[in-house]
Amino acid sequence: MTFLSNILIEKEKEVKILKEQYQQQNYRNIKQEKSMYQTFMESSTMNIIAEIKRASPSKGEINVEVNPVEQAEQYATYGANAISVLTDTPFFKGSIEDLRVVRNTVDLPILCKDFIIEEIQINRAKDYGANVVLLIAAALPKQRLKELFDYAYSIDLEVLLEVHNETELMIALEIGAKIIGINNRDLKTFTVDLSVTQELAKLVNRNDILLIGESGIRNREDVEKMMEAGVRGVLVGETLMRSENLKETLKDLKIEFK
Ligand SMILES: O=C(O)c1ccccc1NCC(=O)[C@H](O)[C@H](O)COP(=O)(O)O
């Protein structure tokens, strides 16, 4: 049994309850003037997706007591281009409420980072103010991924489609993903290796695909590696959640494209 299969079992239980209890909310949903795809493609500096990550299966507690409003304010002030909110509770100690308060704080694009297996989770992400949802290629068969991908776009959400190997990358391309996240973390072993992005990015010979390097990015040198690999955005969690000087940390990561 892998971590991913464990979490998917938990998600099935969560979705069952959601289906019984969730009623559409009328929270604020900000329609961005430009999509995250468009903004990131036009930017002259590396795009930082700064994550609200209280805890994780690989690291345990990271910053459980974080105030998501203050963290998001600082992310926005110091140059983050989007905010990712980990909304899973059992494994990451986040919540959909974290997403709602972040939405009420910043106008940046917000990524709902969860393990999505059903449309109802996408509806809830939108209700609470997300602009982008995560779909994980390793979590679902291709046909189901495509259905959820199409559903998200049909309700005006963008999709960050996450891959970790060549097979998943080809599936993402076949589905028509425009934003592909290459996760440096193996969800089965938790090993983090930036060469995953470096190798997979070489296989994407298309300049209309927005590549995001995910996980294990600690400093400017790592961002430079990601930039050389061809990514236009990086998703950074732990480094920012542990930072004691977000102004300096974000400045360090935000490099100019050559
Ligand atoms: O972070 C984990 O331990 C983890 C384990 C299993 C599935 C997902 C996991 N993390 C979610 C993420 O994708 C990361 O939070 C994100 O890429 C940022 O990573 P990092 O900068 O290394 O915190």
162 is catalytic: yes
Please choose from 185, 234, 236, 240 the residue to mutate so as to test ligand 1's pocket, defined by most ligand atoms within 8 A of CB.
185
Which residue is catalytic, options 84, 123, 184, 215? 215
Q: How far is the CA of 85 from the centre of ligand 1 (A)?
A: 11
DSSP 8-state symbol, 256: B
Ordered structural domains, the chain, with CATH: 3-19+34-253 (3.20.20.70)
Cβ contacts of residue 164 below 8 Å, gap of 6+? 137, 138, 182, 183, 185, 186, 187, 196
Average pLDDT of 7-36?
86
pLDDT band at 115 (very low <50, low <70, confident <90, very high): very high
pLDDT beyond 70 at 74: yes
- Ligand 1 atom closest to residue 56's alpha carbon, by position in its atom list: 3
CA–CA dist 226, 234 (Å, integer): 8
**114 in Cβ contact with 86 (< 8 Å):** yes
113 is catalytic: yes
Does residue 215 have its Cβ closer than 6 Å to ligand 1? Answer: yes
pLDDT band at 27 (very low <50, low <70, confident <90, very high): low
Residue whose pair of structure tokens reads 């920012």 in the numeric block = 240
Q: Are β-strands 47-52 and 60-61 bridged in parallel, bridged antiparallel, or unpaired? A: unpaired
Determine the pLDDT at residue 3: 85
Task: Report ipTM (2 d.p.).
Answer: 0.98
Check: pTM over 0.95? Answer yes or no. yes
Which three-class secondary structure state does DSSP give residue 41? Answer: helix
183 is catalytic: yes
The per-residue pLDDT for range 167-176, each reduced to its tens digit, is 999 999 999 9
Does residue 56 have its Cβ closer than 6 Å to ligand 1? Answer: yes
The per-residue pLDDT for range 182-233, each reduced to its tens digit, is 999 999 889 999 999 999 999 999 999 999 999 999 999 999 999 999 999 9
Spacing of C-alpha 242 from chain mean position: 18
The per-residue pLDDT for range 38-52, each reduced to its tens digit, is 999 999 999 999 999
